[in-house]
Amino acid sequence: MLPVSLVSPGASPHGVGGTRRGSGPVLPGSPHTLPTAADDGGFESGTYNNSAIRTPNLDALARRSVVFQNAFTSVSSCSPSRASILTGLPQHQNGMYGLHQDVHHFNSFDSVRSLPRLLSHARVRTGIIGKKHVGPEAVYPFDFAYTEENSSVLQVGRNITRIKALVRQFLRSQDERPFFLYVAFHDPHRCGHSQPQYGAFCEKFGNGESGMGWIPDWKPQLYHPEQVQVPHFVPDTPAARADLAAQYTTIGRMDQGIGLVLEELRRAGFHNSTLVIYTSDNGIPFPSGRTNLYRSGTAEPLLISSPEHTARWGQVSQAFASLLDLTPTILDWFSIPYPSYSIFGTKRVQLSGKSLLPALESEQPWATTFSSQSHHEATMYYPMRAIQHQQFRLIHNLNYKMPFPIDQDFYVSPTFQDLLNRSQAGQPTHWNKTLHQYYYRDRWELFDCSRDPTESQNLAPDPRYAPVFQQLRAQLLKWQWDTSDPWVCAPDAVLEEKLSPQCRPLHNEL
């Protein structure tokens, strides 16, 4: 489920909230963790004020959680986000620059010490059910694994009856070690590109109709297009509304799955000793969502339920959080020191995120997050770096003279095809942008999200905002140097680490 942290680089993981249980190997009887993640999920839940959708299980979890209103992914792409969640390192530092599977073939660097590796060394049992989408295996080992690597991702990621059985199998183990069980739902990811027979969002998979199979524990909820809430960044058209209605159905399946998982936790007697987390990996697969570093592409739901912090259950936090904070949070929960190691050479890698446990005790002043994106698919090279500090978001589009790329499964979606057809025919798109504006962006984009929540007015050229622009640009650049960003000098200079200055100008007229 981070960036300007109150834990300085190299500080103890307990530097913010104080030592919880001491350090050293995690002992039998210690608390457990159960993070759950949606795939391309957003704020479609009652908890986040969507009154059009029914999500009783997420709403019930929220009543036992701190609800974060300003949580952000560090990268709006599946594999890079999941790698960042499981390493505490941004994509440009852990090496997962884009999607992991098939022709894309991105992998984290071999020396990266991921959360499952760190937990295993501390005698915590690790498990994953559902979508893994990261590699190599040696960097991301799990003791118990049912993922797309050894199973059908539809069965282990969308079949909630199968997910329930696997959770029960994991929890019934006689292994007495504390556990980390990561349940990564494949819902509500689009599937029109890969399994179109099941619908645009696999909303028909397992619904009992002819050829669709049957998921016994799922009671499908159907929505009419006129019922949905259309986000400001999505065209308000019949095609997009039908798309959202299908998405709602699959979110309902995931919501029921979360209820089953938490019931298994209760039945096994672990509900009063387990830190439960719910979030998503990136923005929803609609225009300005996934693959974008706008708020619409990076803002995420985040619920953290701690049995030790009941006083804040049901409260809303405005503190800024990042999914890069999840590794520090889980290490802190188990009282495991933060890692410090080298990926290349002698420079030490240190987590730039912070533990979120203090926010479970009292409201925190955190107000800064960073994000970093280089690829989605292998052909989608569009590097971006961004910072949000308080109400201001600054985005650096390094390849700003190139058109913004469109990924495969979004391209064939009903929403985008309708947008293309309307644009070509000169018809109203009912969207807050034109395709030209979407494809071609300024090098620097600065938004005041408090006055301009749709991020429509770029303030970067406005001299009145020059101090804000320069401050955020300096903060962003410092973060890039601190996290060993290979793109730190781009696009108008070359990084030469053994020279001074290290950014050597290209004189390329940018």
- Catalytic residue set: 78
Q: For 460-469, which contacts have Cβ atoms below 8 Å and span 24 or more sequence positions?
A: 460/394, 468/392, 469/394, 469/444
Tokens encoding 132: 């893994």
Residue 214 DSSP symbol:
B
DSSP per residue over 219-269, as a string?
------GGGSPPPTTS--SHHHHHHHHHHHHHHHHHHHHHHHHHHHHHHTT
User: How many whole angstroms separate alpha carbon 94 and alpha carbon 116?
Assistant: 15
Report how far Cα 230 is from the mean position of its chain's Cα atoms: 21
Residues 200 and 361: their CA atoms lie apart, in Å, by 42
**Contact of 147 with 132, CB cutoff 8 Å:** yes
Instruction: State how far the Cα of 108 lies from the Cα of 79, in Å rounded to an integer.
Output: 10
90 neighbors 370 (Cβ within 8 angstroms): yes
